[in-house]
Amino acid sequence: MSFIATQLVGFGCGHAAPYTSFRNSYDQTADGSTLTITSVDIGTEDPTRYIVVAVGTGRGSAHTHTSATFDGDAATQHATVANGERRLSLYGLAKPTGSSMTFVVNTSSSVSNALIGVWALYNLTSTTPVTSTDTVDSVDLDLNVLSDGIVIAAIYMQDNGGAGDVVWTGVAADFARNVETNPRLFGASASTCPAATPRTVSGNISGASVIEVSGIAAAWR
């Protein structure tokens, strides 16, 4: 899979290079269409901080992510993709203050679990991604990246064998998390990327019983 990056607004020439800090991954297993995860680590306070969350939900029926909030404030959905009963999205919001937050995702129908990965991005020239991409039943996501860009990537799957794994190319693995044995979310990132049109990012998936695979990525500068 391949992925690409973007920028934050309001920082003119001479600003420090953008960088990202992976914070942690979380899950919850309460059934419903509003899923809440509290005490989410968002890193060091900074006027330029932008929080990105990859969220995967499933084990219900085909559904959409209708909205998400960070501490009650509406987040922007940068990309979303579905495969079968699984839905994967990237959300972002500027959060200059605080060291933790409450994350809420709302779905169009009831699901039985949610998994998230969280990154703090700093010194962006724009909060709008340069590019984003998604895929199903594939491990390749190519994105255009600007010089000194940031890439965030995620893969979500149903792993009936419980032994699925992802080996990344083009980004560094940040986490692998499973919930209730089968659904698995993987996340990866890269900072100070050279310009590329496109940058190749891939996830080599292992596991004989892996189904409903989807991938998503975005790049910032």
Q: Is the pLDDT of residue 135 over 80?
A: yes
Given pLDDT bands bounded at 50, 70 and 90, which one contains residue 23?
A: very high
Per residue in 72-99, pLDDT (tens digit) is 999 999 999 999 889 999 999 999 999 9
Q: Is the pLDDT of residue 6 over 60?
A: no
Q: How many CB atoms lie within 10 A of CB 116?
A: 27
Q: Is the pLDDT of residue 10 over 80?
A: no
Q: Is the pLDDT of residue 185 over 90?
A: yes
C-alpha 188/C-alpha 190 separation (Å) is 7
Counting residues of the chain whose pLDDT is more than 70, the rounded percentage is 90
Per residue in 27-47, pLDDT (tens digit) is 998 889 999 999 999 999 999
Range scoring the smallest mean pLDDT among 32-36, 101-105, 138-142: 138-142
Given pLDDT bands bounded at 50, 70 and 90, which one contains residue 152?
A: very high
Please name the amino acid found at residue 7: Q
* Averaged confidence pLDDT in the chain: 88
Please calculate the CA angle 207-213-219 and round it to the nearest 5 degrees: 115
